[in-house]
């Protein structure tokens, strides 16, 4: 026997048309299985409505606050480990590079000394060019402007530090426990 | 369903712990009830409800105020419970193993208390016959009066899938109920039968 539309109609929340209702009643007269579904579903609905909502034991919020404190600590530890791992990784890379450099130095110390001398002379030439540049523009800028620039830079730096400290104080969440 | 002031939610989103505590206080019952209906054990439900609020705490900044907060919150709880049920799906739990839920406020007589526990046990037994997603849909529909759209949004399914799941769940619940009634009837008949016969 085909129960498909009848089972659907029996459990449907939409109202049935007269034709559908007649067909359903006709089917129910001959089908024991479908006849059992309707009262069973009605009983289940009654049971669902009868039972009260489940409630947690008192002190749920307090327990949650304790959980939150543990959770934060766990997160902080996780972050610390992550930072530590990154630092360790960078240190490992640097040590490896230094090791490779050391091997080069052992193999050909002359080349390495020449390389470092050329680097130092390069840095020295950059410094000398900068000095020339500053000397040339200092002729055109009055000394009061230099003082103002230094003073302004100092103020901006101080304000930045102050802003960072205030921002940190305002955004870091207070500990609960 | 409780409707918390949007201002409290905004404050909690900005990291105000007191506002968040207020939120936990307001929503602990619906979240616990959903977890209990899904998992069938008060201790598991407590753990799931606690975990739900921790997840909400971590992801509250992602909450879109255009959506209903309770729908968003309960969808987190439902997803967590579905995951838990999938993890333990191979463990068979019989109807008798459901621990009793402590009855909160009223002080019913022993008979009323017994009937209440029996009803709770039967509901959990009926719900456990459904798969996790169907169970979540039934709980949201019959305990929280969620619309098909809200359930679909919460469970990441289409509205037609929710309608078909609910229909399948109703049928399954009715059949389980019929089977349980038949078993109950036969057990009672055996108890009253004369041992000589």
For residue A175, what is the nearest residue in chain B, using CA coordinates?
B17
Q: Where are the domains of chain A?
A: 4-50, 142-177
> Domain B6-192 classified CATH 1.10.1740.10?
yes
Burial of B17 (0-12, 13-18, 19+ CB in 10 A): middle
CB B24 within 8 A of CB A61: yes
Contact partners, residue A63, CB within 8 Å, separation at least 6? B46, B50
Q: How many CB contacts within 8 angstroms connect chain A with chain B?
A: 98
Q: Cβ separation of B123 and A47 shorter than 8 Å?
A: yes
- pLDDT band for position B23 (50/70/90)? very high
What does the pLDDT average to over A151-159? 94
Helix pair angle (B148-155, B132-143), 10° resolution? 140
- pLDDT band for position B107 (50/70/90)? low
DSSP 8-state assignment for residue B60: G
State CA B109 to chain mean position distance: 26
Question: Is B17 part of the contact surface with chain A (CB cutoff 8 Å)?
Answer: yes
How far is A143 from B39, CA to CA, in rounded Å?
A: 78
- Average the pLDDT over each of A45-54, A131-140, A168-177 and give the range with the smallest value: A168-177
Optimal mutation site among A40, A47, A50, A66, interface B, most CBs of chain B within 10 A:
A40
Q: Cβ separation of A60 and B24 shorter than 8 Å?
A: yes
How far is A135 from A29, CA to CA, in rounded Å?
A: 110
Q: What is the pLDDT of residue A176?
A: 44
CA distance A45 to chain B (A): 9
Count Cβ atoms below 10 Å from residue A10 Cβ, excluding itself: 20
Per the document, the length of chain A is 177
Long-range Cβ pairs for the range B128-132 (8 Å, 24+): B128/B40, B128/B93, B129/B172, B129/B173, B129/B176, B130/B169, B130/B172, B130/B173, B132/B38, B132/B81, B132/B82, B132/B85, B132/B86, B132/B89
Q: Indicate whether A98 pLDDT > 50.
A: yes
Closest CA relative to residue B121, chosen from B37, B34, B17, B59: B37
Neighbour-count burial for B59-82, b at 16+ CB within 10 Å, e otherwise: ebeebeeeebbbbbbbbbbbbbbb
For residue B142, what is the nearest residue in chain A, using CA coordinates?
A48
Per the document, the length of chain B is 197
Q: What number is the ipTM of this complex?
A: 0.79
CA distance A114 to chain B (A): 56
What does the pLDDT average to over B12-25? 91
Q: What is the pLDDT of residue A27?
A: 86
Q: Which three-class secondary structure state does DSSP give residue A119? A: helix
State CA A131 to chain mean position distance: 47
**Tens of pLDDT, residues A115-150:** 889 999 999 999 999 999 888 887 787 778 888 989
Q: Cβ separation of B104 and A41 shorter than 8 Å?
A: no
Burial of B187 (0-12, 13-18, 19+ CB in 10 A): exposed
Confidence (pTM): 0.70
Q: Cβ separation of B116 and A176 shorter than 8 Å?
A: no
Q: What is the pLDDT of residue B91?
A: 56
Q: Indicate whether B176 pLDDT > 70.
A: yes
pLDDT top residue among B146 and A33: B146
- Average the pLDDT over each of A14-23, B94-103, B152-161 and give the range with the smallest value: B94-103
- pLDDT band for position A172 (50/70/90)? low
Q: What percent of chain B clears pLDDT 70, i.e. is strictly above it?
A: 87
CA distance B193 to chain A (A): 26
Dig out the tokens for B6 from the structure.
């949007």
Closest CA relative to residue B53, chosen from B71, B68, B39, B74: B74
Q: What is the pLDDT of residue A9?
A: 82
Q: Cβ separation of A41 and B101 shorter than 8 Å?
A: no
What does the pLDDT average to over B116-144? 91
Q: Indicate whether B104 pLDDT > 70.
A: no
Select the residue of B28, B46, B174 nearest A37 (Cβ to Cβ). B174
Q: Indicate whether B99 pLDDT > 70.
A: no
Q: What is the pLDDT of residue B108?
A: 63
- Average the pLDDT over each of A162-166, B47-51, B90-94 and give the range with the smallest value: B90-94
**Tens of pLDDT, residues B31-88:** 999 999 999 999 999 999 999 999 999 999 989 888 889 999 999 999 999 999 988 8
- Average the pLDDT over each of A4-18, A21-35, B16-30 and give the range with the smallest value: A4-18
DSSP string, A30-94: H-HHHHHHHHHHHHHHHHHHHSPPP-PPTTHHHHHHHHHHHHHHHHHHHHHHHHHHHHHHHHHHH
CB B111 within 8 A of CB B154: no
Dig out the tokens for B141 from the structure.
């529909």
Q: What percent of chain A clears pLDDT 90, i.e. is strictly above it?
A: 44
Residue A175: what are its φ and ψ, rounded to 5°? -75, 145
Question: Is B5 part of the contact surface with chain A (CB cutoff 8 Å)?
Answer: no
Q: What is the pLDDT of residue A175?
A: 46
Q: Cβ separation of B33 and A61 shorter than 8 Å?
A: no
Dig out the tokens for B166 from the structure.
């609910």
Question: Is B109 part of the contact surface with chain A (CB cutoff 8 Å)?
Answer: no
């Amino acid at each position: 026997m085909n129960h498909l539309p009848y089972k659907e109609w029996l459990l449907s929340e939409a109202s049935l048309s007269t034709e559908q209702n007649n067909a359903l009643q006709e089917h129910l007269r001959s089908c024991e299985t479908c006849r059992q579904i309707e009262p069973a579903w009605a009983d289940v609905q009654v049971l669902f409505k009868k039972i009260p909502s489940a409630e947690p034991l008192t002190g749920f919020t307090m327990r949650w606050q304790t959980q939150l404190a543990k959770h934060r600590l766990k997160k902080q530890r996780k972050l610390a480990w992550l930072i530590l791992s990154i630092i360790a990784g960078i240190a490992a890379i640097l040590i490896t590079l230094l090791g490779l450099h050391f091997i080069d130095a052992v193999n050909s110390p002359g080349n390495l000394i020449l390389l470092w001398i050329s680097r130092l002379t390069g840095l020295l030439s950059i410094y000398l060019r900068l000095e020339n540049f500053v000397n040339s523009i200092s002729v055109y800028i009055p000394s009061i402007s230099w003082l103002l620039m230094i003073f302004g830079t100092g103020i901006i730096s101080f304000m930045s530090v102050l802003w960072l400290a205030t921002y940190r104080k305002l955004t870091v969440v207070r500990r609960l426990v | 369903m409780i409707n918390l002031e949007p201002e409290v939610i905004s404050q909690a989103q900005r990291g105000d712990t007191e506002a968040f505590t207020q939120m936990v206080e307001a929503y602990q019952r619906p979240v616990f009830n959903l977890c209990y209906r899904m998992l069938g054990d008060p201790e598991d439900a407590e753990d799931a409800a606690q975990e739900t609020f921790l997840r909400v705490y971590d992801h509250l900044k992602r909450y879109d105020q255009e959506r209903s907060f309770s729908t968003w919150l309960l969808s987190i709880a439902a997803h967590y419970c579905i995951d838990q049920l999938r993890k333990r799906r191979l463990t068979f739990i019989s109807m008798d193993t459901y621990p009793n839920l402590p009855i909160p406020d009223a002080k019913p007589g022993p008979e009323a208390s017994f009937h209440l526990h029996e009803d709770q046990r039967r509901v959990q037994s009926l719900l456990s016959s459904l798969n996790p997603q169907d169970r979540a849909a039934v709980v949201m529909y019959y305990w929280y009066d969620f619309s098909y759209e809200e359930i679909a949004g919460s469970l990441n399914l289409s509205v037609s899938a929710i309608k078909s799941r609910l229909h399948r769940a109703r049928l399954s619940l009715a059949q389980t109920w019929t089977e349980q009634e038949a078993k109950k009837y036969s057990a009672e008949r055996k108890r009253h039968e004369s041992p000589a016969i």
